[in-house]
Structure 1
C-alpha cells in the first residue's frame, strides 16, 4: 500500500463515529481494505498534508491508519460502521 496514492476523504458521519470512539477510547475492531484486521483502542484523529489518520493503541504500540484504508470498524457500543467515501 503506497502512501502516495491520492487520499479520499471518508463520509462525515463515519468520521464523527471515529471521533466519538476516540473521545471514549473505545476498543475497535478495524477491518482494512487490504483484508488485515486490527483490534486496538481508538486514541486520536490527526490530519497531515491533507491526509487524515486514526491513531490507535495496539497493545502499547501507537499506530497510524489512513482513514481511507479502513473498510469498516466496530464496537458493541456503536455497532459496525462500513466506511464510505464522501
Structure 2
C-alpha cells in the first residue's frame, strides 16, 4: 500500500461531525466508485493511517481517508453539504 497522506484538519472535522450525528453518507472514492454508508467512527492506526468506519447494507467497512474523494450527507437538516476531500491534504 502506498504512503498515507493525512487529511487537512478542517476536513477531518466534517468526518467527525458525520460520525457524531451518524449521518448517512454518499461516499465518493478516488477510484471512481461510490457507496452509501452510515458514518460510525474514525480511527487512527499506530502507523498514523486514518480510517472512516461506515455501516453499509453489506456490513461495516473501514475506508482509508486518503481514498475518499468526497462525502455528501443524505440526512435532512445535515449541518453541511458535499465536502471535497481529495486534493486537500496536509
TM-score by length of 1: 0.92
Where structure 2 has 5 or more consecutive residues not aligned to the other structure, the ranges are: none
Query: C-alpha deviations, 1:16-38, integer Å up to 9, x for none?
Result: 00000001000001100000101
Structure 1 runs, 4 residues or longer, greater than 2 Å off: none
Give the total of aligned pairs: 83
2:73 counterpart residue number = 75
Root-mean-square deviation (CA, aligned residues, Å) is 1.0
Taking the aligned partners of 1:26 and 1:59, their CA distance within structure 2 comes to: 15
Where structure 1 has 5 or more consecutive residues not aligned to the other structure, the ranges are: none
Of 12, 19, 38, the match for 1:22: 19
TM-score by length of 2: 0.88
User: Per residue, is there more strand in 1 or in 2?
Assistant: 1
